[in-house]
Each structure stands twice: as structure tokens, then as C-alpha cells.
């Protein structure tokens, strides 16, 4: 008796994902705008009391890095060229870059203005070997945008991102299939995305210095120590990542901060600033057709001690008046020190798509939302300062 014919299923193509990351993006655009800056330490960022957005590689030799307070940067590099930034130029450059990536794959995921993933799986018949396509993109960015990018190519997003940072600036690193764990093993554990200062300290306390060290820790022990995140760490340490490159950007939070020119103690000024920040994040929330449940207020004192406090609403909202009350209550409860404040911020998270069906018995919220939408339209046409609210009493 003959057996049934076996069914041969075609194997799925090995994924080929590239992570492309501009090198010192904002500073590089400024150098293109003004070639006399080349060879000089260039720092792009906020005012005297702001933070560094980008430092070029010359400035980094002096210890200047992103997110560093500008005052610290000026102490380390007093002869640097400090530029507030020309963000319209950065957005335009980023748009051209993303358009270029779209010519090679429909699966492009923008992570920020200066970095993106592109899935090159299955593009061989159109453009040739995917690794060569990634090299071509790197060359095109250099020729057409006059900018440098670093590229990592691997079988998943995690390893591709680590690889793009491996030989910056201008690096090109390929991690072949099956060598993900070997590539990661000797790297410092903080090279893994998602490991910040607090987690790094805890890992070091446990004798974990490299990614290889982390890979040796049994997954169940990591889960005991860090919950579900511990299990994810075990996968990352082995170079495992099943996330897809998704063209749809998922907005996880919307936030705004304001750093005062001088430290502030006046409650009316502080609260009117919070009202303005809340208006802005709510306007952006509505523009994205989203609602939020969680409100967070950030308070930074003159000695740089920073506190955040949050509250989650029973249901998601997108109405200014609701969040004004929440933000001011959080601020009044959270400000427990007598120090002056240098920064305040407002964030909305726990976002969901806008629920267009309003509560049948709630007559006030729809009217307030209608007011907000009209104010949005006025600000869109005449500028965000066309209509402003002051601090609220009570």
C-alpha cells in the first residue's frame, strides 16, 4: 500500500531587517546649513536652562551628550557652538529620508525623526541582496542628503538596533542568522534597549555586566526578580525578538514640559503654565483622534530633584476642563518641598482611539468638547496664543 504523498510546505523567508540611525542628526543638519561649523564642537539644545538635544562627535570628546543640562555642557565645553535648533529643517530632512526608505519596502517604521526600521525581506527580485540594498540606502543618504547614517542588519528589530550602534558614526554592521546571541554576548548589558540606570544598577548588584552574563541567568529567576519584564529580558539577552516592522506608529503618550528662565515659586505663574501645557497636550490628543485615561504631572525643583505624580481616570477623556482639574490637583498634592521650581510638565498616557459615542446622559462633556474643538480651530488659524486661559482659582 502506498503511503499518502507528503506535503512540502515552503519555508518562510528569513527575515532581513535594517535599523538606520542618523549620526548626530540635528548637529549634522546645522553643519550642512553652515559649513563653517564643521570641525567645531556643535551642541543643539534649549536655552541656558534647557538640555542638550544633540551634540556632534567633536563635542562628545569633551563629555557632552544628549539630555545633559546645558549648563553642564557649557562647563565641559565652554568654547562649543551652541544652537537653539531649526526644527523645520530637521523635519524636512526626516521626511525625505522616510520617503527614500519607502522606495525599497512598504514596511517602514519610523521611531523618531532620526531613526527607522525597514523590513527588506523578500525584496531580492526587485533590488538584489537585502544587505546590498541597505548599503545602497546608506550611500544615497550620504549623496542626496549629505548626512551620515549608521546601519544595522539582522533577523530582528532588537539585534538590528544594537548593531546600528555598534560602529558609530557611519557604521555598517551585519549580524548573520544564528549568530544573534554570539554578537550580543560580549556587549555591556546596558546596550540592550530598555535597560535604564535603575535596572542597570539592579543587574550589576546581581553580578550581571554583559549581555552574555544576563543570558546565563535562568528565565524563571529573572521573572521572580522583575516580573514579566524579567522574562522579556531573558529573550532579549538571547537575541530573540518576534516584533514585526509596523508602518503604523503607535502613540503611547503625549507630553509637554516647560523650563523656566529663572526658578519660580509663584503659584499663579506655575499653575497658569500648567494650564497652557495641558491645553497643548489635549489639543494634540484630539488631533490624533485619541483619548487618555492617565494624567501625569512632572515637577523639577531648583536642585534638580524631580518628582512625578499620576492619576488614572475611570474612563478615557479628551476634554480640557477634565484634565485641568486633574493636573492642578496632582500639582498641589505633589509639590511638597519649599524649593523653587525650574521645570513643570504634563503628560497623557493610557491612550485609546476616540470613542465617538458620548454618554447619553452626560450633557456637559459634549458641549465642553465642542468648545475645545472651536478653540483648536482658532489656534490652528491664528496661532496657539490667539486664545489663552489663565490660572484657575480653587
Residue 338: predicted pLDDT: 87
Cα–Cα distance measured from residue 38 to residue 32, given in angstroms and rounded to the nearest whole number: 8
Cα–Cα distance measured from residue 279 to residue 122, given in angstroms and rounded to the nearest whole number: 46
**Architecture label for domain 22-88:** 3-Layer(aba) Sandwich (3.40)
Domain 181-237 has CATH 3.40.50.360: no
Three-state SS at 57 = helix
- Verify whether residue 115 is a known catalytic residue: yes
Residue 6: predicted pLDDT: 43
Interhelix angle 228-237/219-226, nearest 10 degrees: 140
The model's pLDDT over 316-341, given as tens digits with 9 standing for 90+, comes to 888 888 899 999 999 999 998 989 99
- Please identify which residue in the block is written with the cell numbers 477623556: 317
What percentage of the chain exceeds 90 in pLDDT? 60
Residue 365: predicted pLDDT: 57
pLDDT at 7 over 90: no
Edge-to-edge, what's the strand order for the sheet holding 52-55? 52-55, 42-45, 81-83
Average pLDDT, the chain: 86
pLDDT at 390 over 60: no
> Please, which pLDDT band fits residue 351 given cuts at 50, 70 and 90?
confident
Cα–Cα distance measured from residue 196 to residue 208, given in angstroms and rounded to the nearest whole number: 14
Closest C-alpha among 82, 56, 52, 57 to residue 69: 52
Cα–Cα distance measured from residue 158 to residue 154, given in angstroms and rounded to the nearest whole number: 9
Residue 226: predicted pLDDT: 80
> Please, which pLDDT band fits residue 154 given cuts at 50, 70 and 90?
very high
- Nine cell digits for residue 86: 531649526
> Please, which pLDDT band fits residue 366 given cuts at 50, 70 and 90?
low
User: Could you say which of 31, 109, 115, 279 is catalytic?
Assistant: 115
Q: Which sequence spans correspond to the domains of the chain?
A: 22-88, 181-237, 253-382
Contact 185, 162 (CB under 8 A): no
Kindly state the average pLDDT of the residues 118-137. 95
> Which residue intervals of 206-247 are DSSP H helices?
211-216, 219-226, 228-237
Residue 370: predicted pLDDT: 65
Residue 121: predicted pLDDT: 95
- Nine cell digits for residue 189: 548589558
Same fold, 181-237 and 253-382: no
Kindly state the average pLDDT of the residues 253-259. 90
Residue 311: predicted pLDDT: 94
35 or 374: whose pLDDT is higher?
A: 35
> Please, which pLDDT band fits residue 81 given cuts at 50, 70 and 90?
very high
DSSP one-letter string for 334-363? H--S-S-EEEEEEEEEEEEE---S--TT--
> Please, which pLDDT band fits residue 245 given cuts at 50, 70 and 90?
very high
Residue 314: predicted pLDDT: 87
pLDDT at 283 over 80: yes
> For the structural domain made of 253-382, what CATH number should be given?
3.30.1490.100
CA atoms 371, 373, 374, 379: torsion sign: positive
The model's pLDDT over 163-202, given as tens digits with 9 standing for 90+, comes to 999 999 999 999 999 999 999 999 999 999 888 777 888 8
Q: How are the residues of the chain apportioned to helix, strand and coil, as percentages rounded to the nearest 5?
A: 40, 25, 35
Residue 8: predicted pLDDT: 41
The model's pLDDT over 220-231, given as tens digits with 9 standing for 90+, comes to 888 888 877 788
> Please, which pLDDT band fits residue 393 given cuts at 50, 70 and 90?
low
Tell me which DSSP letter residue 189 carries: G
Kindly state the average pLDDT of the residues 18-40. 96
Angle at 139 between CA 133 and CA 142, to 5 degrees: 145
Amino acid at each position: 500500500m502506498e503511503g499518502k504523498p507528503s506535503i512540502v510546505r515552503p519555508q518562510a523567508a528569513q527575515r532581513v531587517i535594517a535599523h538606520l540611525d542618523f549620526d548626530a542628526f540635528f548637529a549634522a543638519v546645522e553643519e550642512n546649513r553652515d559649513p563653517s561649523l564643521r570641525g567645531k564642537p556643535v551642541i543643539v539644545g534649549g536655552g541656558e536652562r534647557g538640555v542638550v538635544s544633540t551634540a556632534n562627535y567633536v563635542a562628545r570628546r569633551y563629555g557632552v551628550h544628549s539630555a545633559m543640562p546645558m549648563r553642564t555642557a557649557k562647563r565641559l565645553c565652554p568654547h562649543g557652538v551652541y544652537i537653539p535648533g531649526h526644527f523645520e529643517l530637521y523635519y524636512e530632512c526626516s521626511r525625505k529620508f522616510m520617503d527614500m526608505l519607502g522606495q525599497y519596502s512598504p514596511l517602514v517604521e519610523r521611531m523618531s525623526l532620526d531613526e527607522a526600521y525597514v523590513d527588506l525581506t523578500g525584496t531580492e527580485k526587485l533590488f538584489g541582496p537585502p544587505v546590498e540594498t541597505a548599503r545602497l540606502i546608506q550611500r544615497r543618504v550620504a549623496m542626496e542628503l549629505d548626512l551620515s547614517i549608521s546601519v544595522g542588519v539582522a533577523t530582528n528589530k532588537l539585534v538590528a538596533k544594537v548593531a546600528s550602534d555598534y560602529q558609530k558614526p557611519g557604521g555598517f554592521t551585519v549580524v548573520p542568522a544564528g549568530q544573534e546571541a554570539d554578537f550580543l554576548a560580549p556587549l555591556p548589558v546596558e546596550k540592550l534597549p530598555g535597560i535604564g540606570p535603575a535596572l542597570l544598577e539592579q543587574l550589576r548588584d546581581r553580578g550581571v555586566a554583559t549581555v552574555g552574563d544576563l543570558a546565563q541567568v535562568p528565565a524563571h529567576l529573572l521573572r521572580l526578580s522583575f516580573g514579566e519584564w524579567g522574562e522579556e529580558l531573558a529573550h532579549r539577552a538571547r537575541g530573540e525578538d518576534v516584533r514585526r516592522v509596523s508602518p503604523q506608529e503607535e502613540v503611547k503618550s503625549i507630553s509637554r514640559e516647560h523650563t523656566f528662565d529663572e526658578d519660580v515659586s509663584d503659584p499663579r505663574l506655575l499653575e497658569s503654565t500648567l494650564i497652557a501645557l495641558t491645553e497643548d497636550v489635549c489639543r494634540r490628543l484630539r488631533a490624533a483622534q485619541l483619548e487618555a485615561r492617565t494624567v501625569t504631572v512632572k515637577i523639577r525643583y531648583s536642585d534638580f530633584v524631580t518628582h512625578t505624580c499620576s492619576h488614572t481616570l475611570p474612563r478615557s477623556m479628551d476634554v480640557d476642563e477634565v484634565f485641568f482639574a486633574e493636573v492642578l490637583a496632582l500639582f498641589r498634592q505633589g509639590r511638597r518641598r519649599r524649593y523653587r521650581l525650574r521645570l513643570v510638565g504634563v503628560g497623557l498616557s493610557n491612550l485609546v482611539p476616540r470613542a465617538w459615542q458620548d454618554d447619553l446622559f452626560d450633557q456637559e462633556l459634549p458641549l465642553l468638547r465642542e468648545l475645545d474643538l472651536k478653540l483648536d480651530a482658532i489656534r490652528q488659524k491664528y496661532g496657539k496664543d490667539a486664545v489663552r486661559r489663565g490660572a484657575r482659582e480653587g
